[in-house]
Structure 1
């Protein structure tokens, strides 16, 4: 079963001619802030990782360099703008001043009035019977998975040479200042280490490497 995923990526600057070719090839929007270019695409796939492969392959076929996965984090004013409501209403939701069947999602960042992951806000509205649209956006875990795979691709040349084989509970992704490491809640006997230096693994270009076992 195929799902429509909305995925966003930070890319190098895109020429207008390339942008026109991109939007004629796939459902995409090119935006950004300052010198940062963000490409948002709607792509089908059985899983978010398949959707990511399709999206990045499409961009690379047009010579677009993908730099990072963009996590759609929004503040109160952005939530209000997207939903066509007021920032006061969003504030009421966030503070729990409106008695709703489902509590508003917790912010991912508390400072500056709070920042939320848009996917969690959209899911909250869907639970209340007010879906924003029929698109599926990556969860926090899926954003972490995509980030790891994209980093592997940038290091090793192709993320398809790395096999992602989860077993048991979902893996926990741990970010450090220097490396992206992957930890698994229950490491199998076949895997001796609970953390993997992704950069070393990618540089080795092993074809039997698994992010988790």
Structure 2
């Protein structure tokens, strides 16, 4: 799904033709200045708004090293703004707000007030308008998602400044939840070790600044691991603890990548498990930096 983001940024300017060109050519985006603030309007795909933000931040910082993303702009709108964007009358909008129309779909709660007028986040208003076929069809982070993105932005950018990939850890909530949590805790400790980082960086990732880690248990089928890798993430890291609780980090791919070894060449079929893979690798001479194609 595609999400639109309006970031408040520093480090680039509308007066910088090169930066403006990169934003337009590589991101189909728009850099504008409103009073003393620069606003960057871009879009990105993801399973949810957090994943899309994660991806676009890495891409933007790679293309524009001097860019600093401060926060998301809440894009607050009043009744007049909504009327203008929807080409409806103010009276029509006030009827929506008051619940006189579409009472089965309550209008979003206001974000606050400016003077004596209420204001709303445009993303939430537009989501409501889309339900009644009046919105523009786009999606943007809602209040809770936007707050989480704003919270994570400093850490994401610190990691990129230090040459580390942005790590997204996937930990399924199922009957093996306790075991997966143990894997995740071991992984978080390992990520602080230089040797682990070197191993990660040596693997051929489809997106060098982003890394998806799937926390697995030996009982997981490889097909289930594959299902957790987003379509746009061709590669990921499989983290699993062996019988001796040693953490194993395996580069995996959802499709053929250069130098990737299909698991079928290791004698593993469609019903193979992560445990089967560990067992085979223990007796095969496959380099640790070789990605394993699960598909």
With the shorter chain as reference, the TM-score category is 0.5 to 0.7
Alignment of 1:155-174 (within 5 A): 155=158, 157=161, 160=166
Q: Aligned residue for 1:4? A: 2
Q: RMSD of the alignment, in Å?
A: 3.1
Shift of 1:66: 1.5
Give the secondary structure class of the aligned counterpart of 1:80.
Answer: helix
- Tell me which stretches of 4 or more aligned residues in structure 1 moved more than 6 Å: 164-168
- Are residue 148 (structure 1) and residue 148 (structure 2) matched? no
Cα distance in structure 2, aligned partners of 1:121 and 1:21: 31
Give the direction of change, closer, same or farther, for the CA distance of 1:27–1:100 in structure 2 (3 Å limit). farther
2:79 to 57, 76, 79: 76
The answer to whether 1:62 aligns with 2:60 is no
Match of residue 181 from structure 1 = none
Task: State how far apart, in whole Å, the 1-side matches of 2:120 and 2:5 are.
Answer: 17
CA distance in 2, matches of 1:153, 1:99: 41
Contact 2:58/2:166 (CA < 8 Å) preserved in 1?
A: no
Residue of structure 1 equivalent to 2:139: 136
1:121 aligns with 2:120: no
Q: Which moved more, 1:122-131 or 1:38-47?
A: 122-131
For 2:74 and 2:91, how far apart are their aligned partners in 1? Answer: 25
The structure 1 residue matched to 2:107, chosen from 78, 101, 104, is 104
User: Taking structure 1 as the reference length, what is the TM-score of the superposition?
Assistant: 0.67
| Alpha-carbon distance in structure 1 between the residues aligned to 2:37 and 2:147 | 20
For residue 99 of structure 1, report the CA deviation from its aligned partner.
Answer: 5.7
Find the counterpart in structure 2 of residue 51 from structure 1. 52
Instruction: Indicate the structure whose relative CO is greater, using CA pairs within 8 Å and at least 6 residues apart.
Output: 1
Unpaired runs of at least 5, structure 1: 169-189, 191-205, 209-213
**How many matched pairs?**
172
Match of 1:88 among 91, 94, 100: 91
User: Which deviations, in whole Å up to 9, do the C-alpha atoms of 1:103-147 show, x marking residues without a partner?
Assistant: 2222110343111011211121122233422x2211111111111
Distance 1:114 1:25, change over 3 A: same
Gaps of 5+ in 2: 175-181, 183-190, 194-295
Q: What is the CA–CA distance in structure 1 between the aligned matches of 2:84 and 2:98, rounded to whole Å?
A: 19
**Structure having the higher Rg:** 2
Q: 1:115 to 1:159 in 2, by over 3 A?
A: farther
